[in-house]
Structure 1
Amino acid sequence: MSAALKRGWCPSLFRPMESGDGWLARIRPREGVVGEPVIAALAEAAARHGNGLIEVTSRANLQIRGLRPDSIAPFTEAMLAAGAADPDEAIEARANIIVSPLLGADPAIAAETAEIARAIRHGLADPKFAGLPAKFGFLLDGGGALTLGDLGLDIMLRASGAVRWELRCGGNTLTLDAADAASRALGLAAEFVGRARPGPARHAGPSRLGFVACVDGLAGAVLIMPPFGQMRVEQLAALGALAREYGDGGLRPTPWKSLAVGGVSVSDAAALLAAATALGFISAPGDSRLDIATCAGAGRCSRGEIDTHEAAAWLAARRPAGAALLHLSGCPKGCAHPGPAPLMLVGRAGRLDFLTDGRAADPPALRGLSLIETPAVLETAA
């Protein structure tokens, strides 16, 4: 891949990144949950200081779009005042940690999971970690009703029994006691300071949507998804209100670009799902929008060569649910789905290139298609 296609860093609250519609900042939820006070503050601040768009990322973060140079500082101050981030810039810069999405809401998750997550987070403040590779990440899967499946990051810790954990990195696995998990993970991370990442593939897989029951079967979580991972602040605020009414008040971003509401009773699940659907969220499998992976696109990303969200919505209305995965990329970087996809459309100067079983940067089979031409091409190739 050429230098011109090099991906940017993972933005944080203290280190936003410039994009096509302004600057991006991310909220990295501590222990995986965005609490009630933060939801309200985030919705207000993103509307005041950004362009009102918020995304759920594949790192289980919330990404705020459209910040301006003069609004970055007041947005940061508002988030710190709400407790949305650690005031230690070093922690926020390095704490790329994905935890079990239902941590704190599912009693079946290993009890030591939160403690391990905190220890890793605060350990990363040590200046010796300043040279960790960009996007270096930790995965912490404590089990429960919603595991992280085959999702892979640079260093992975997975509960494997009573106070026992598996530490995995680069194809190697070590089983150890929970008490040693954080220190061993940090020790391993220190070996990558100044070096290249191990770089395992992330296989997030399809998102589970709807109600997920926890161990007692009487309560659990509801998972919903903003179409193509993006919502407006009004939707976030309204969903936060639903989380207060039907659940524990928090929102849990997942690496599947969905949001989980914990503490939902079986009897309340249907009402919550119906209300979320009315707000514009996807609340059940079988929606054709779930079969399209897409990025921010033109107008939001400086590299985007086509409006991907508009094109994806148009295509979703013309594809049957359950069709082969389509990766619609605004440019050859392929940020939304780095691995091969069965069907691939790549924006090029307002038109689309097409290929099958490949990545966005691969040579296309067809070039310069109009959007109107693509449904027939996709149907023939499927």
Structure 2
Amino acid sequence: MTQSIQVQGWCPTAWQPMRAQDGWIVRVRPHCAAVSAAQWRVLAVSALAHAHPQIELTRLGNVQLRGVGTAQLPVVRARLIEAGLVPADADADLAPAVHCTALYRRGDATHALARQLSQAAIEHLSPAALARAGLQALPSKFGLLVDDPARRMQSIGADLQLWVDQDAGYGLALGGTAQWHGFARAEEAVDAAVQLALWFARERMTTAPAPTRLRGLLAQRTPQVGAPLHAALMQRADPLLPGPHAAHGQVLGAPLGRIDAAAMQELARQLPADAELRVTPWRSLLLADRAITPLDAAHWITRPDDARLRVSACTGAPRCTQGLVAAQTLALALAGDVPRHRHLHVSGCAKFCALPAEASAVLCAGPDAGGKALLHISRGNAPRTPISSVAADRAPAEITRLLHDPYL
């Protein structure tokens, strides 16, 4: 028996939420990755009062509430706007996302670049701005990114990536390629990024079906940037793991990227209202330039060797109508059996939602001939032919054995 899979193919915002099995998903895209303690309190209260009592962190460094009722959408949106988490203008909220590294100091070159790019995206690439130019809105999955000089966010799936390089110049890479362009000034790099996005907006409409990501056109055509082309990117640095970091502050991991809203409310209560808990793309928070202890280990990951860092999972059953197993519960149950330096992703269906680049094995649920759930395990983060399949009720013991297979 095969499972019918429905892929949404777009990303929600606060003004354009996504309907799921358990209610509406309302997504907040933090400006320059920064969310103050006061704003976290608003998110926590909103989750506890109007959604599931969790705050979700996405792989792109976004924050979202899940399970919001239809009648509560206007209330939630109004509170987020009042807190400065969401633009009051729907057009600004629907402009391409600008994801930003959490590793900057306020007012430095990286922070300034992110602010410039965010403003340019609203002014030139929002649906209204593109309509004035006779162009259709960019796909919601199209995104831009400002990285730190060490390029820790290279693996994030942004269409255009900008950064301040080690020589105080500026780099611009086209997502999915191993080439980048150098600029002397931030204004030049931002303008080039805007022009490339406009090129994509024009050119994608001449292709059927129209690609939703820049890399879909790059294989066929090469845009002209007008800057020196460099053949290879610098080596990617490792992400920051949970724990204290002298140069940046304290990193707090969230198990499976889910923050208990009550735990967040308590944490935010202990901090000054303007203290920043920046969102990272590794489903963690950076408490910039400070540290806090103690923290409840049931809700937070504070050590780099915590076994929960070795697993990830989609939403799964019962909150997703296509999930055949409780993916999150299963992932946490298996975490202690995942060997060090390996990563297991559990997917409730064949959509492989939330699949991270670092996955070394994937456990995917699918129906057997009688409609019961089977779990298929495969190597790497691009699941193809599974190396083994087990019934869901036999999963833990058999999967533990497979996870220790040196050839997995």
Cα gap change, 1:169 to 1:318, in 2 (>3 Å): closer
Pairwise CA distance, 1:131:
2.2
The partner residue of 2:329 within 287, 291, 310 is: 310
1:376 is aligned to 401
Cα gap change, 1:368 to 1:279, in 2 (>3 Å): closer
Cα gap change, 1:138 to 1:11, in 2 (>3 Å): same
CA distance in 1 between partners of 2:364 and 2:115 (Å): 43
Structure 2 residues without counterparts, runs of 5 or longer: 217-235, 367-371
CA distance in 1 between partners of 2:112 and 2:381 (Å): 41
Pairwise CA distance, 1:100:
1.8
1:229 is aligned to 257
Q: Deviations over 1:232-258 (max 9, x none)?
A: 21122122234439xx61211111111
Secondary structure (helix, strand or coil) at the match of 1:353 reads strand
Which is worse superposed, 26-35 or 204-213? 204-213
Kept in 1, the 8 Å contact 2:12–2:18? The answer is: yes
Cα gap change, 1:136 to 1:111, in 2 (>3 Å): closer
Pairwise CA distance, 1:25:
0.8
1:138 is aligned to 144
Secondary structure (helix, strand or coil) at the match of 1:284 reads coil
Secondary structure (helix, strand or coil) at the match of 2:319 reads coil
The partner residue of 1:354 within 360, 365, 377 is: 377
CA distance in 1 between partners of 2:357 and 2:241 (Å): 20
Secondary structure (helix, strand or coil) at the match of 1:184 reads helix
The partner residue of 2:244 within 181, 189, 211 is: 211
Kept in 1, the 8 Å contact 2:152–2:239? The answer is: no
Secondary structure (helix, strand or coil) at the match of 2:404 reads helix
Kept in 1, the 8 Å contact 2:343–2:360? The answer is: yes
Tell me the C-alpha RMSD between the 2 structures.
Answer: 2.7
Pairwise CA distance, 1:135:
0.6
Which is worse superposed, 343-352 or 253-262? 343-352
1:217 is aligned to none
Q: Deviations over 1:246-292 (max 9, x none)?
A: xx61211111111111121xxxx3xx2x4234462011111111111
Kept in 2, the 8 Å contact 1:211–1:222? The answer is: yes
Kept in 1, the 8 Å contact 2:251–2:285? The answer is: yes
- The alignment's TM-score, normalised by the length of structure 2, stands at 0.80
Aligned partner letter, 2:375: L
Aligned partner letter, 1:345: L
CA distance in 1 between partners of 2:356 and 2:37 (Å): 33
Cα gap change, 1:15 to 1:205, in 2 (>3 Å): farther
The partner residue of 1:287 within 303, 306, 309 is: 306
Kept in 2, the 8 Å contact 1:109–1:143? The answer is: no
Q: Deviations over 1:177-223 (max 9, x none)?
A: 212222221111111224421249xx996552212222xxxxx3111
Kept in 1, the 8 Å contact 2:365–2:375? The answer is: yes
Q: Is 1:127 aligned to 2:124, yes or no?
A: no
Pairwise CA distance, 1:224:
1.0
CA distance in 1 between partners of 2:382 and 2:259 (Å): 27
Which is worse superposed, 124-133 or 309-318? 124-133
1:155 is aligned to 160
Kept in 1, the 8 Å contact 2:58–2:257? The answer is: yes
Cα gap change, 1:222 to 1:84, in 2 (>3 Å): same
Cα gap change, 1:115 to 1:379, in 2 (>3 Å): closer
Alignment of 1:37-52 (within 5 A): 37-52=38-53
Pairwise CA distance, 1:297:
1.0
CA distance in 2 between partners of 1:318 and 1:338 (Å): 19
CA distance in 1 between partners of 2:285 and 2:111 (Å): 22
Q: Deviations over 1:290-330 (max 9, x none)?
A: 1112111111222211101110111113334x152212111
Kept in 1, the 8 Å contact 2:56–2:259? The answer is: yes
Q: Which runs of 4+ in 1 moved over 6 A?
A: none
CA distance in 1 between partners of 2:96 and 2:109 (Å): 21
Secondary structure (helix, strand or coil) at the match of 1:91 reads helix
1:175 is aligned to 182
Cα gap change, 1:242 to 1:204, in 2 (>3 Å): farther
Cα gap change, 1:301 to 1:14, in 2 (>3 Å): same
Q: Is 1:296 aligned to 2:321, yes or no?
A: no
Q: Is 1:191 aligned to 2:199, yes or no?
A: yes
- The alignment's TM-score, normalised by the length of structure 1, stands at 0.85
Aligned partner letter, 1:233: A
Secondary structure (helix, strand or coil) at the match of 2:87 reads coil
CA distance in 1 between partners of 2:266 and 2:165 (Å): 38
Structure 1 residues without counterparts, runs of 5 or longer: 215-219
Identity of aligned residues (%): 27
1:240 is aligned to 268
CA distance in 1 between partners of 2:147 and 2:345 (Å): 27
Cα gap change, 1:154 to 1:62, in 2 (>3 Å): same
